[in-house]
Amino acid sequence: EIPIIGHQTIVLTTTTARRSYATLPGTTDNQQPQNQQVQQSEVPAKKQSKIVELFQKSKALVVFYKNGLKELWANKKAAKALIQQVEQQGYQLTRSDYQLIHKSKKDMIKLAPFGLIFLVLPESIPLFVIFAPGIIPSTCVTESQVLKQRQKLDEARQRMSSNVITASHQIGRITPEDFLSLRKFLKIAKGYQYDFELPQISKDNLGAYCRFMGLKSWGTKGMLEKRLNKHLDYLLEDDKLIAKEGVQSLSTPDLQQAVEERGMRSVNVDEEQLQQSLDYWISVHLNEQESIPRGLLVFSRMFLLNANYSK
């Protein structure tokens, strides 16, 4: 509404100026006050500047997405070559290799819907990053967009964690301290072994578990269970490789991604805390003393979201 009102003001001022100058001796209709001419020239200049700025941003985005698609395709070729090495030569994957293959598979699934959006309306992709991040390949997301996604997920996790801990205090059974040491964790696992097996968990709770872990939370009970199992299978293999190479071998971005995928905080956390939280997760997940139900593994993340792992 503001531009329209401004435009009307300029028109009215122009009309008034013409009438008043027409009554003065020696003036013509073409004569107007100097400040009025400046006002009229500023409006098109501002509009033109905004159009140029919008065009430049759109052009930069298109270039970024093109480069992202090129990287996606290069990753696909590299992942295919690694798989062939494993199958034909018995090559042992490093953690970096495993991540490349995993990321490539996920990104290729997203290629079709993303490609359609890119061809039809590339300017709308930032909106899809916010409201439908699941269809955007990782190679086509900026660092700032990744940070916003993590902050949004952290806010949702904080709400869920607060609700679970409050309810637990009211019941007086499980507390966050019960998960802070491996010995206590295994004791809880032994006492609630059956209750936290995924087939025994309700559809609503499975949906909440998926949502907390950053997964899609829609679908039937069977779909939710399969989704969680698939994610935890991936994490199990990843944990083995991290344990082999050492948590300290991961860069800060890799650490942030790793803890994020495991239902832990990755924003506003220093590198030491990231390492300690990941190290503790691996010690629990790969322990050989007691089998930990997968539902309890996820459930524990809600209690330990804001835990301090300092030794």
Domain identity same for 101 and 173: no
Reported as a pLDDT band with limits 50, 70 and 90, residue 227 is very high
Burial call 19-38: b when 16+ CB within 10 Å, e when fewer:
eebeeeeeeeeeeeeeeeee
State yes or no: pLDDT of 22 exceeds 50: no
Which residues touch 148 (CB under 8 Å, ≥6 apart)?
Answer: 130
Cα atoms in the Cβ-side hemisphere of radius 13 Å centred on 54: 8
Tell me the whole-structure pTM to 2 decimals.
0.80
Verify that 176 and 65 share a domain, yes or no. Answer: no
Average pLDDT over residues 63-87: 95
Which of 131, 163, 195 is a domain's end point?
131
Q: Is residue 9 assigned to a domain?
A: no
Name which of 76-85, 166-175, 188-197, 204-213 the model is least confident about: 166-175
Question: For residue 110, is pLDDT > 80?
Answer: yes
Residues 215, 148: Cα–Cα separation, whole Å: 16
Same-domain pairing of 207 and 271? yes
User: 121 pLDDT band (50/70/90 cuts)?
Assistant: confident
Identify whether residues 126 and 161 lie together within a single domain. no
**Is the per-residue pLDDT at 13 higher than 80?**
no
* pLDDT at site 158: 97
- What's the number of domains the chain is made of? 2
- Any domain includes 242: yes
